[in-house]
Amino acid sequence: MKECILYKKEKNHVKCLACSHYCIIPENKTGICQVRKNINNKLFLLVYGKVISHHIDPIEKKPLYHFLPGTNIYSIGTIGCNFKCDFCQNYEISQEREISGEDMQPEQIVKEAIKNKCKSIAYTYNEPVIMTEFAIDIAKLAKKSNLKNIYVTNGYETKECIDFISNYIDAMNIDLKSFSNKFYLKNCKAKLQPVLNTIKYSHEKGIWIEITTLIIPGENDSEKELNQIAKFISSIDKNIPWHISRFFPMYKMQEKSFTPEKTLQKAYEIGKKYLNHVYIGNINKENNTICPKCKKEIIERHNYITISKLKDSKCPYCNEKIAGVFE
């Protein structure tokens, strides 16, 4: 447990500044995430140093396709979340309310990443914004060892939070779960606009951004909505990769069917009208990167084995600069 940085004191409570819920937290209570608690009118992070899950992953699993492709990443998460998604794939830890986890301090996490020859650390599995002070303490040490830092996030960071993390977080995969505020309110107990704000502002701050949308049948799979998402991403930067992810029945949406392949293909075709890089995930399909200029394959991927043909971040066939971080 450690005192948080992202909060301010008010008369009889504290106001959390980490996520866009901006929770007003009375004495001895927690915010929506259940891990940031007001103790004697100070806000404490209950999961500081409490890691519920840690693994070595291919970076493509995050998913990040244009950020250090072919490298391994050390992934960590804690319990808790500021969303309550009915389709959560990690609900066992994200919706857990009892504070638990393996004791791991920032120094140990960085050492583990280095020992396992990882090039970066991911704050993932649950929502990293709720443990931001812990993540940034790790990231500061990681930077000194030339490790990159990645948030895999639902995009509910506040402007204050992005300003706080932007010197240490190199990349973010942000879930854009829908382009409907009604969807967010019903299925996530959150709102759409803060997510759009995070995508825009994080990009402005120079953080490498990739977007993921889980396509849920009957919920966010209309052509109108898919067009809205692709147009929005393109309005910021047509080089932002869009990951279209297949839904499998999970948690409170077990009555739903998995996403048909034709729906994923439709989303892909819509995305390619606006964006240079669109990928389909959660399906046995090659996700090769195509040069937007000459249309040749420049990064090959299959079963998390990645072969890059890039030379100095450029297409080897036409010398086109490919957007991303490749070294």
Contacts of 167 (CB under 8 A, 6+ apart): none
The H-assigned helical ranges of 205-290 are 223-236, 261-274
What is the C-alpha to C-alpha distance for residues 284 and 290, in angstroms, rounded to an integer?
18
Query: Does some domain include residue 308?
Result: no
pLDDT score at 198: 98
117-176, pLDDT tens digit by residue? Answer: 999 999 999 999 999 999 999 999 999 999 999 999 999 999 999 999 999 999 999 999
1-34, pLDDT tens digit by residue? Answer: 999 999 999 988 999 999 999 999 999 999 999 9
Q: Residue 175 burial by CB count (10 A; 0-12/13-18/19+): exposed, middle or buried?
A: buried
184-214, pLDDT tens digit by residue? Answer: 999 999 999 999 999 999 999 999 999 999 9
pLDDT score at 171: 98
Query: Does some domain include residue 233?
Result: yes
94-103, pLDDT tens digit by residue? Answer: 998 889 999 9
205 and 270, same structural domain? yes
DSSP-derived letter for residue 291 is -
Query: Does some domain include residue 211?
Result: yes
Strands 297-302 and 289-290: antiparallel
pLDDT score at 157: 98
Q: Cα dist. 65→119, 140, 326 in Å?
A: 14, 24, 10
166 and 130, same structural domain? yes
pLDDT score at 103: 97
pLDDT score at 286: 75
233 and 120, same structural domain? yes
Between 75 and 286, where is the model more confident?
A: 75
Query: Does some domain include residue 71?
Result: yes
Phi first, then psi, for residue 273 (nearest 5°) are: -70, -25
148 and 39, same structural domain? no
88 and 215, same structural domain? yes
Query: Does some domain include residue 310?
Result: no
32 and 85, same structural domain? no
163 and 62, same structural domain? yes
pLDDT score at 264: 97
118 and 34, same structural domain? no
200 and 65, same structural domain? yes
228 and 140, same structural domain? yes
285 pLDDT exceeds 80? no
Q: Which helix H or strand E contains 132, and what residues bound it?
A: helix 132-144
Query: Does some domain include residue 309?
Result: no
Strands 50-51 and 208-215: unpaired
Query: Does some domain include residue 154?
Result: yes
Number of domains in the chain: 2
134 and 29, same structural domain? no
What's the whole-number mean pLDDT along residues 76-91? 95
Domain that holds residue 19: 2-45
216-269, pLDDT tens digit by residue? Answer: 999 999 999 999 999 999 999 999 999 999 999 989 999 999 999 999 999 999
175 and 35, same structural domain? no
Contacts of 269 (CB under 8 A, 6+ apart): none
CATH number at residue 108: 3.20.20.70
Query: Does some domain include residue 121?
Result: yes
